[in-house]
Structure 1
């Protein structure tokens, strides 16, 4: 560049202008890449949320089935105990 502090020559002005344009283009490219990354991240998060929802639903269904089966077995055990008590002779 002109080190004398005076006006820039036409070629120096052109170089500065091109440098600014390249910098703006570089920033635009970075912004676009960041938008792409954010979009991919959003899609990934949506997929993860869908997956987690499915896992929660499945685990709830399994818990519900297990809970009912456990309750049924517990009830059966209590009935068996009561039946055994009722049929055993009284030891007074």
Structure 2
């Protein structure tokens, strides 16, 4: 029983350039950030997005009053390309 956590869930801003997430942002009338955070929550993954901007911190919390449809979750799941935005923990010299 290990709780998974999404490390760098916003891919250092790279999620903003993904066309599917842009489409879903319009569909749900939410920011791309909110779509990505909500997707993680619905997958049972803990998210701790970094921000020092009060308006973004507030926006990050405003993800509990909507749900992504199952077909949208499946589409987001299919985006996985195993891309890293940070060091690979399996090959990092700690």
User: Shorter-chain-normalised TM-score: which range?
Assistant: under 0.3
Structure having the higher helix fraction is: 1
Quick one: higher RCO (CA 8 Å, sep 6+), 1 or 2?
2
Taking structure 2 as the reference length, what is the TM-score of the superposition?
A: 0.18
Taking structure 1 as the reference length, what is the TM-score of the superposition?
A: 0.18
Larger Rg: 1
